[in-house]
């Protein structure tokens, strides 16, 4: 799922292309993508886009009459841009927004689960209903960050990815943040020391800022094309079984539902392997408790 760095770069690319332009027509090619009927999508046709906004992992286009179109990409949704004179040729198109001057914004989605969504809302009050309320981690103070983190007692992985606590952080960048902070993803927020919270606050801002700048340079004046949660420059996310270059320990993971936690056991968990519940149930006493035991038994993926 595109997260804060990806959404920020999407918005910057859209700022250069659609703000100040009239949306001439919207073509919906998958009826399931449009989740609202009032106002109808046709209500924004012929209206000028005057502002953009990020709501967590959502992109909102604001029109001159106060209406908003909210796009939630979910896991597999992506945006493509066709410049004037180019015919939109996106596969798996859900909806296409045609702008005066010839440009077109296309919402696509890979797969068949149809989770991406478009909502049309009448005003700021309607827009607020799509804001989950998480704080902006790039603007909050350390004290505000700590207050949100301690609001409920959850694991760090869950807390960082909770949109009601923090805005725009998801599965991929939470792995990178926790690795940079050298903190266990299953540490409980209620047990964190002040120094650990400060370390996490700094790591959150540094990781997201670094990735936002990296993506900006990659895109330049173009439009984001390769929007993915798995990048070779990442330290641990998507690197299961590969040795982390600094300590040469193989990256481990816990999988649950459609998500996963990736971590370095030597840098983040004091050498302990975090037991995947399903694997623990299967392997029981044979499941190693430390990386040393795993390496000795040959059970650590990527171990040499």
Would you say 74 and 163 are in contact if contact means Cβ atoms under 8 Å apart? no
Asked whether residue 122 falls in the same domain as residue 147, the answer is: no
Burial 49-69 (b: 16+ CB within 10 A, else e): beebebbbbbbbbbbeeebbb
Bridge partners of 54, per DSSP, are 59
Considering 128, 153, 183, which residue would you say is the last residue of a domain? 128
In this prediction, residue 188 has a pLDDT band, given cuts at 50, 70 and 90, of: very high
Considering 170, 193, 219, which residue would you say is the last residue of a domain? 219
Q: Is residue 72 part of a domain?
A: yes
Asked whether residue 157 falls in the same domain as residue 118, the answer is: no
Asked whether residue 124 falls in the same domain as residue 146, the answer is: no
From residue 283, give the alpha-carbon distance in Å to each of 178, 232, 254, 279.
Answer: 27, 32, 15, 6
Q: Is residue 136 part of a domain?
A: no
Domain residues for the domain of 266 are: 237-304
Q: What residues contact 89, with CB distance under 8 A and at least 6 apart?
A: 82
The lowest-confidence range among 14-23, 80-89, 218-227 is 80-89
Give the pair of three-digit tokens for residue 72. 């939630």
Q: Is residue 227 part of a domain?
A: no
* DSSP type of residue 106: E
Over residues 27-64, the pLDDT tens digits come to 999 999 999 999 999 999 999 999 999 999 999 999 99
Would you say 206 and 180 are in contact if contact means Cβ atoms under 8 Å apart? yes
Asked whether residue 296 falls in the same domain as residue 272, the answer is: yes
Q: Is residue 39 part of a domain?
A: yes
Count of beta carbons in the 10 Å neighbourhood of residue 20: 11
Asked whether residue 181 falls in the same domain as residue 253, the answer is: no
- For every residue of 181-237, DSSP letters joined together read HT--TT-BGGG--HHHHHHHHHHHHHHHHHHHHHHHHHHTTS------S--TT-SST
* DSSP type of residue 289: S
For 279-286, the CB contacts below 8 A with 24+ separation are none
Q: What is the CATH number of the domain that holds 62?
A: 3.20.190.10
The mean pLDDT of 157-165, rounded to a whole number, is 94
Task: Please give the biggest Cα pair distance in the chain.
Answer: 68
The CA R_g of the chain, rounded to the nearest whole Å, is 21
Nearest to 71 by CA among 111, 41, 112, 113: 41
Cα–Cα distance measured from residue 26 to residue 24, given in angstroms and rounded to the nearest whole number: 7
Does the pLDDT at position 255 exceed 60?
yes
- Domain total in the chain: 3
Asked whether residue 20 falls in the same domain as residue 122, the answer is: yes
In this prediction, residue 66 has a pLDDT band, given cuts at 50, 70 and 90, of: very high
Q: Is residue 224 part of a domain?
A: no
The more confident residue out of 85 and 185 is 185
Over residues 83-139, the pLDDT tens digits come to 988 877 777 999 999 999 999 999 999 988 889 999 999 999 999 999 999 999 999
In this prediction, residue 291 has a pLDDT band, given cuts at 50, 70 and 90, of: low
Considering 219, 253, 278, which residue would you say is the last residue of a domain? 219
Does the pLDDT at position 184 exceed 80?
yes
Bridge partners of 98, per DSSP, are 25, 104
In this prediction, residue 289 has a pLDDT band, given cuts at 50, 70 and 90, of: low
Asked whether residue 122 falls in the same domain as residue 155, the answer is: no
Cα–Cα distance measured from residue 109 to residue 91, given in angstroms and rounded to the nearest whole number: 9
The mean pLDDT of 241-263, rounded to a whole number, is 88
Does the pLDDT at position 303 exceed 90?
no
Give the pair of three-digit tokens for residue 201. 């606050």
Q: What is the CATH number of the domain that holds 210?
A: 1.10.8.50
Cα dihedral 162, 217, 10, 258 sign: negative
In this prediction, residue 298 has a pLDDT band, given cuts at 50, 70 and 90, of: low
Cα–Cα distance measured from residue 123 to residue 113, given in angstroms and rounded to the nearest whole number: 30
Does the pLDDT at position 146 exceed 80?
yes
Q: Is residue 46 part of a domain?
A: yes
pLDDT score at 279:
54
Asked whether residue 32 falls in the same domain as residue 106, the answer is: yes
pLDDT score at 178:
98
Q: Is residue 203 part of a domain?
A: yes
pLDDT score at 304:
40
pLDDT-above-70 percentage for the chain: 90
Asked whether residue 176 falls in the same domain as residue 113, the answer is: no
Q: Is residue 112 part of a domain?
A: yes
- For every residue of 43-63, DSSP letters joined together read GGTTEEEEEEEEETTEEEEEE
Instruction: Return the axis-axis angle of helices 4-17 and 194-219, rounded to nearest 10°.
Output: 40
Does the pLDDT at position 302 exceed 70?
no
Asked whether residue 41 falls in the same domain as residue 87, the answer is: yes
Would you say 273 and 295 are in contact if contact means Cβ atoms under 8 Å apart? no
The lowest-confidence range among 24-28, 242-246, 254-258, 290-294 is 290-294
Over residues 270-288, the pLDDT tens digits come to 999 887 765 555 445 445 5
Asked whether residue 146 falls in the same domain as residue 104, the answer is: no
Asked whether residue 285 falls in the same domain as residue 242, the answer is: yes
pLDDT score at 85:
81
Give the pair of three-digit tokens for residue 43. 């209500």
pLDDT score at 187:
93
């Amino acid at each position: 799922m595109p997260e804060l760095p990806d959404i920020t770069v999407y918005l910057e690319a859209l700022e250069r292309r659609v703000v100040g332009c009239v949306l001439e027509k919207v073509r919906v090619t998958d009826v399931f993508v449009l989740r609202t009927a009032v106002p109808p999508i046709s209500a924004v046709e012929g209206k000028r886009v005057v502002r953009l906004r990020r709501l967590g992992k959502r992109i909102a286009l604001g029109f001159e009459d106060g209406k908003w179109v909210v796009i939630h990409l979910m896991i597999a949704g992506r945006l493509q841009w066709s410049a004037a004179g180019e015919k939109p040729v996106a596969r798996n198109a859900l909806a296409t927004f045609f702008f005066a001057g010839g440009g077109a914004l296309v919402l696509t989605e890979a797969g068949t689960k149809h989770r991406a969504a478009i909502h049309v809302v009448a005003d700021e009050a309607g827009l607020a209903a799509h804001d989950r309320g998480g704080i902006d981690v790039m603007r909050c103070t350390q004290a505000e960050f700590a207050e949100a983190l301690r609001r409920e007692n959850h694991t760090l992985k869950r807390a960082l990815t909770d949109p009601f606590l923090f805005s725009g952080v998801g599965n991929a960048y939470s792995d990178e943040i926790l690795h940079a902070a050298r903190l266990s993803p299953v540490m409980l927020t209620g047990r964190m020391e002040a120094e650990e919270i400060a370390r996490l606050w700094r790591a959150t801002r540094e990781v997201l800022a670094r990735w936002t700048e990296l993506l900006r340079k990659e895109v330049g004046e173009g439009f984001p094309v390769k929007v993915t949660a798995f990048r070779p420059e990442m330290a641990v996310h998507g690197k299961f079984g590969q040795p982390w270059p600094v300590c040469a320990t193989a990256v481990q993971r816990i999988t649950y539902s459609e998500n996963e936690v990736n971590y370095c056991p030597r840098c983040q968990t004091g050498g302990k392997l975090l037991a995947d519940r399903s694997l623990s149930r299967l392997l029981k006493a044979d499941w190693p408790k430390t990386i040393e035991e795993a390496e000795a038994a040959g059970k650590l993926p990527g171990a040499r």
